[in-house]
């Protein structure tokens, strides 16, 4: 199916990015949605999302004018490397998208690997010697389940997440279900019928004077809980449904905070990658908090370290939005990737929730205790508060306290509960004799 004639039919300058000459994302998505509606004409097509992972670092070194020139050079390489039948757009935050048709779609991975090699060769002499251009590609095939451009972009970003997780050696991070569309239908039904099951789990302070806090979670109704929440929400992200779930969760969080005027009570809500890259989400959040700014100060939004990595160029915008709204930010799974400290300057976080693998054997492994204490010291010097999660052994709490951890969470203190009820004033005696107050 030759798409090239209709792509070149428009000369409207508003449809093209002035720096690269590529189509704008808005125009590109409109064309993509139009293609998806052509159910009578089966087409072999793939969306390729190319992310210049560390371009923000290059821009910081060379300055904006030189970075713009380099971006123009990169666009020229893409034009030379891609067949004329390929439609390309420039997305926000140093990303490009290409629609690969027919043979290009069949050979999508080979084609994108060749493009990456061409980019590396072309820009090697134009960037500071201490930096290398890093880029990643996420691919999403057009099929009968791809309902919109938004879903395709979300799927391509999900592939980027998988690539990062694989590169970092993270096992068990991806889930695969043969009947993914059944899960999609279940999620849509739960959203439509307001049928998610909410639960709260206490976050308990062991060091410092911090406010009582809960993490708000949601799952499908009891009959469907044989599918893990982690798998459900990975499917939601891949199918561009997670941002809607985030809004549902935040709405309930605000209602809970409004019903609990306890001045210090905080609620932590997880934020998906779909929402991080969506300006519309933050516009919605701003409207929602227009007359509820006092509640915003009691919200903690939590994002994963992997999502920080694949949305690096969005992080300044995200941080600015949350700071303006006076919402606290937490990074979860902190330490699941190599050298996580180097990403902290991208955003203004207040908390980090340690990846469970950093603390899972603390009671028996002296080397893990030493490494943990060193990491916590670095984090606290940066003004960050540190949370340890999945603490299932009360004996570990004294060791976490000794390492400088501020808060802990886990079944050893409280299983998730339908209501935010926990006695934060209870005094506990630990096996080592240390006494602390929740």
pLDDT per position as a tens digit, 163-179? 665 555 545 445 556 67
One of 3.30.710.10, 3.40.50.360, 3.10.350.10, 3.30.70.270 is the CATH number of 4-167, namely 3.30.70.270
Q: Which of 241, 123, 228 is nearest to 181 (CA)?
A: 241
One of 3.40.50.280, 3.90.1720.10, 3.40.50.80, 3.20.20.450 is the CATH number of 180-437, namely 3.20.20.450
Going from N- to C-terminal start, the domains of the chain cover: 4-167, 180-437
Specify the pLDDT at position 303. Answer: 95
Distance separating alpha carbons of residues 29 and 91, to the nearest angstrom: 11
The encoded tokens of residue 277 equal 């890259």
Q: How confident is the model at residue 414 (pLDDT cuts 50, 70, 90)?
A: confident
pTM of the model: 0.80
Q: How confident is the model at residue 226 (pLDDT cuts 50, 70, 90)?
A: low
SS3 state of residue 18 = coil
**For 283-309, what is the mean pLDDT?**
91
Specify the pLDDT at position 297. Answer: 92
Q: Residue 194, CB half-sphere, CA atoms under 13 Å: how many?
A: 2
Share of the chain above pLDDT 70, in %: 86
Of 72-76, 134-138, 139-143, 164-168, where does mean pLDDT reach its minimum? 164-168
Give the DSSP letter string of 241-266: -HHHHHHHHHHHHHHHHHH---TT-E
Specify the pLDDT at position 212. Answer: 84
Distance separating alpha carbons of residues 28 and 23, to the nearest angstrom: 6
**Residue 299: partners with Cβ closer than 8 Å, 6 or more residues away:** 250, 253, 254, 257, 266, 267, 269, 327, 328
Partner residues linked to 97 by β-bridges: 49, 89
**Residue 413: partners with Cβ closer than 8 Å, 6 or more residues away:** 202, 204, 391, 422, 438
- φ and ψ of 124, to 5 deg: -55, -35
Place of tokens 């302070």: 205
């Amino acid at each position: 199916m030759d798409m090239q004639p209709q792509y070149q039919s428009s000369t409207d300058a508003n449809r093209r990015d002035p720096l690269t000459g590529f189509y704008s994302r808005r125009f590109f998505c409109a064309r993509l949605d139009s293609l998806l509606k052509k159910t009578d004409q089966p087409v072999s097509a793939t969306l390729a999302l190319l992310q210049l992972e560390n371009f923000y670092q290059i821009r910081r070194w060379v300055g904006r004018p030189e970075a713009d020139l380099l971006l123009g050079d990169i666009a020229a390489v893409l034009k030379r490397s891609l067949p004329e039948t390929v439609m390309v757009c420039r997305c926000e935050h140093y990303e490009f998208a290409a629609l690969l048709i027919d043979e290009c779609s069949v050979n999508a991975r080979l084609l994108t690997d060749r493009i990456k090699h061409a980019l590396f060769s072309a820009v090697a002499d134009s960037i500071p010697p201490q930096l290398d251009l890093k880029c990643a590609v996420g691919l999403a095939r057009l099929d009968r389940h791809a309902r919109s451009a938004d879903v395709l972009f979300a799927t391509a970003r999900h592939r980027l997440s998988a690539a990062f997780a694989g590169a970092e050696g993270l096992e068990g991070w991806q889930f695969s279900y043969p009947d993914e569309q059944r899960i999609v239908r279940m999620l849509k039904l739960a959203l439509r019928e307001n049928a998610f099951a909410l639960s709260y789990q206490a976050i308990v302070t062991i060091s410092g004077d911090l406010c009582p806090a809960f993490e708000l979670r949601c799952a499908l109704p009891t009959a469907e809980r044989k599918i893990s929440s982690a798998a459900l929400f990975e499917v939601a992200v891949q199918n561009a449904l997670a941002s809607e779930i985030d809004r549902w969760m935040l709405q309930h969080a605000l209602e809970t905070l409004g019903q609990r005027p306890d001045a210090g009570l905080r609620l932590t809500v997880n934020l998906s990658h779909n929402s991080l890259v969506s300006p519309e989400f933050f516009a919605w959040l701003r409207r929602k908090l227009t007359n509820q700014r006092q509640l915003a100060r009691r919200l903690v939004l939590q994002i994963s370290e992997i999502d920080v990595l694949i949305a690096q160029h969005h992080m300044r915008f995200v941080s600015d939005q949350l700071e303006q709204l006076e919402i606290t930010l937490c990074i979860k799974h902190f330490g699941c990737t190599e050298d996580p400290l180097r990403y902290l300057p991208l955003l203004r976080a207040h908390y980090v929730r340690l990846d469970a693998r950093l603390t899972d054997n603390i009671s028996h492994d002296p080397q893990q205790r030493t490494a943990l204490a060193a990491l916590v010291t670095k984090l606290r010097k940066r003004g960050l508060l540190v949370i340890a999660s999945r603490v299932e052994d009360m004996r570990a709490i004294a060791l976490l306290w000794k390492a400088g951890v501020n808060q802990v969470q886990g079944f050893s203190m409280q299983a998730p509960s339908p209501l935010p009820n926990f006695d934060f004033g209870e005094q506990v005696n630990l096996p080592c004799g240390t006494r602390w107050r929740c």
